[in-house]
């Protein structure tokens, strides 16, 4: 299966989380600070929000808690 991240295709395995798939793909900047600096998943258990992304228009989705679905459109989430 696959999904897009910031417009680029990412291959994924069924049952893994978005965060795991993005890390396996070597993505930097899963989310972004107010200044646009990259943030990466940290706790991997839903508490820090450093893995926040936008999924199919839904903002502030924690990628470490979200299973991959084929065809998802995922973007970095930026803190404003």
Looking at 36, 38, 46, 67, which residue binds ligand FES (CB under 6 A)? 46
Q: Which is nearer to ligand FES, 41 or 68 (CB)?
A: 41
- C-beta of 76: minimal distance to ligand FES in Å? 14
Q: Could you give the string, one character per residue 5-44, with x where binding to ligand FES holds by CB under 6 A and - elsewhere?
A: ------------------------------------xxxx
- C-beta of 23: minimal distance to ligand FES in Å? 10
Query: How far is the CA of 53 from the CAs of 34, 36, 71, in angstroms?
Result: 14, 14, 15
Q: Where are the alpha helices (DSSP H) in the chain?
A: 18-24
Q: What is the C-alpha to C-alpha distance for residues 11 and 67, in angstroms, rounded to an integer?
A: 13
Q: Which is nearer to ligand FES, 11 or 43 (CB)?
A: 43
- The pairing of strands 73-78 and 31-32 is parallel
Say if residues 70 and 3 touch (Cβ distance below 8 Å): yes
Contact residues: ligand FES, CB under 6 A: 41-44, 46-51, 62, 64
């Amino acid at each position: 299966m696959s999904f897009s991240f910031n417009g680029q295709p990412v291959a994924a395995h069924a049952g893994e989380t978005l965060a795991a798939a993005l890390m396996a793909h070597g993505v930097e900047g899963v989310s972004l600070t107010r200044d646009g600096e990259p943030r990466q998943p940290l706790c991997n258990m839903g508490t820090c929000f450093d893995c926040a992304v936008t999924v199919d228009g839904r903002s502030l989705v924690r990628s470490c808690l979200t299973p991959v679905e084929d065809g998802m459109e995922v973007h970095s989430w930026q803190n404003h």
